[in-house]
Structure 1
Amino acid sequence: MPRFAANVTMLFTEVPMLARPDLAREAGFDGVEVLFPYDHPARDWQAALAGMPLALINTHPGDWAAGDRGHAAVPGAEDTFRASFQRAADLAALLGAGRIHVMAGVARGEQAEATYRENLAWAAEQAPDTTITIEPLNSDDMPGYFLNDFDQAARIIDDLALPNLGIQFDLWHAARIHGDADAVWARHKARVNHVQIAGFPSRNEPGGGGFDLTGLCAELDRSAYPGWVSAEYLPARATVHGLMWLQALKGRARLIGA
């Protein structure tokens, strides 16, 4: 059965950040992920997690209010990226996070891609035991973001051929970018090392949009997928009142595996 993680940046926002892992545990999640865990000391996160697995963190985006969305593909920002990646790798090691999502940043053109490739190769070499993910983000939610197409991500991954680099498959972004998330999954599932789910078209609780989550979980189970299925969505009401999808998927996964 796949392991389910709660993205505590977006879920359980009814309570302060460091109280959210406890709520995720009580709700039946197997772990958590957090986009940017940099506002609290590592020791506070360790206490908050209390043994709850941390699936993934992002590299620091920079000054979000000023428009920064990471630096991996930004020409001239190589030193900034490498410092942010090392910071993420150090924190991931302290907290036991097995995956780091490398944020590409706002950039375009051939030089941006060359910078991105060089930085990804460098990062993979620096943290060979850490799984590195890259995630295409749709242009409506993230204008100007360099990595905005799953086929683009696949081409870069195939060319670099790094054993610890893969695609972060976010159902919401796949549907927004390409229209048919099933087709994106079929083309790129062999490259995927992290899965995120949400409802479509509202980005609320998972379900809808014609994507078969039960089938996805069964396929992951059959393939002995070693990663996580993370809930990254905007709850339509208090998070705890909208978790029927989790109970249903876990129940069906147990039946399939029986």
Structure 2
Amino acid sequence: MPQFSANLSMMFHEHPFLERFDAARHAGFEAVEFMFPYAYPVAALGQAVEDSGHAISIFNLPAGDWERGERGFACIPGRETDFRASVETAVRYAEAAGAKRLHALSGTMGNISPGAARATYVENLRFAADRLGESGLELTIEPINSRDMPGYFLSSTELAADILAELDLANVGLQFDIYHHQIMHGDILKSLERFMPMIRHMQIAGVPDRNEPDTGELDYDRVFKEIDVLGYKGWVGLEYRPRAGTVEGLAWMNDQ
């Protein structure tokens, strides 16, 4: 059975963010992840992690103004300075929290050509990988489905694999979210087998509504068995929206 990491940006909303660490510990989680910690002081985040004793499986680099629709800027020509500053910010938070892995959102293309977006994205990823490597950190890229995030540059797992092959960097890998991949591509079991060598982090949710994994079209019991068979030893992030209460919604874990 995989090791699960609670996503505190989507779960435990019964508590203020910095109190969710303790709530997740009481619920039995040894690891947590989250989207963005940057609304909180570095020291406050570090203290919350220290007090809870959690491993931090992953979090995102700053993505710009989320409320105004920004979803990262790694693929956007002219935003290279912003991207480099975001890397430095994320490294400070990672060091305070003891995190070992960060994810860089690609951003949406708008009127940018796919070729220009890709060239900018690859250049920025090389910079980020080099800087993160200095601090002993890994970088991931994650395909995100175009239904939830229209216009997002990295919406295809095939494209992500192609970019990873082009980069060929030891500390850069794939963040494989089964929810996003199922919506865009399907064929989860064969896809896990194919992409497992490049996967550094995984995430799950029920498809299509992004609730607990005991709902929707996927047989997660079979998926979990395949993950074990393929030898994946990393964390599997629970990046879903609980249907009701977070703790009440964890009943599916007790059935595993």
So what's the TM-score if we normalise by structure 1? 0.90
- Which residue does the alignment assign to 1:76? 78
- CA deviation vs aligned residue, 1:18-70 (integer Å, no higher than 9, x gap): 11111111111121001000011122112222221111110111011222110
Offset, 1:189 = 1.6
Q: Tell me whether 1:60 sits opposite 2:67 in the alignment.
A: no
Aligned counterparts of 2:244 and 2:58: Cα–Cα separation in 1 = 25
Greater shift, 41-50 or 211-220, is seen at: 211-220
SS in 1 for 2:237: strand
Offset, 1:218 = 4.1
- Which residue does the alignment assign to 2:17? 17
SS in 1 for 2:58: strand
Report the number of matched residues.
249
- Which residue does the alignment assign to 2:194? 187
SS in 1 for 2:255: helix
CA contact (8 A) 1:200 1:207 kept: no
Offset, 1:217 = 3.7
CA contact (8 A) 2:189 2:223 kept: no
Alignment of 1:58-137 (within 5 A): 58-107=60-109, 108-128=113-133, 129-137=136-144
Greater shift, 202-211 or 236-245, is seen at: 202-211
Identity %: 44
Offset, 1:212 = 4.3
Structure 1 unaligned spans of 5+: 250-258
Q: Tell me whether 1:27 sits opposite 2:27 in the alignment.
A: yes
Q: CA RMSD in A?
A: 1.7
Aligned residue identity for 2:21:
P
SS in 1 for 2:203: strand
Aligned counterparts of 1:94 and 1:233: Cα–Cα separation in 2 = 26
SS in 1 for 2:59: strand
Alpha-carbon distance change, 73 to 153 in structure 1, aligned in 2, over 3 angstroms: same
Aligned counterparts of 2:83 and 2:196: Cα–Cα separation in 1 = 28
CA contact (8 A) 1:11 1:239 kept: yes
Offset, 1:89 = 1.4
Alpha-carbon distance change, 19 to 231 in structure 1, aligned in 2, over 3 angstroms: same
Aligned residue identity for 1:145:
Y
So what's the TM-score if we normalise by structure 2? 0.91
SS in 2 for 1:4: strand
CA contact (8 A) 1:58 1:101 kept: yes
SS in 2 for 1:162: coil
Offset, 1:145 = 0.8
Offset, 1:187 = 2.5
Alpha-carbon distance change, 226 to 94 in structure 1, aligned in 2, over 3 angstroms: farther
Aligned residue identity for 2:157:
F
Offset, 1:144 = 1.0
- Which residue does the alignment assign to 1:140? 147
- CA deviation vs aligned residue, 1:112-159 (integer Å, no higher than 9, x gap): 101111111111111112121111111111111110100000000011
Aligned residue identity for 1:201:
P
Structure 2 unaligned spans of 5+: none
Aligned counterparts of 1:208 and 1:183: Cα–Cα separation in 2 = 21
- Which residue does the alignment assign to 1:150? 157
Aligned counterparts of 2:38 and 2:181: Cα–Cα separation in 1 = 27
Aligned counterparts of 1:121 and 1:223: Cα–Cα separation in 2 = 29
Aligned residue identity for 2:122:
R
Aligned counterparts of 2:66 and 2:46: Cα–Cα separation in 1 = 25
- Which residue does the alignment assign to 2:243? 236
Greater shift, 44-53 or 190-199, is seen at: 44-53
Offset, 1:215 = 4.2
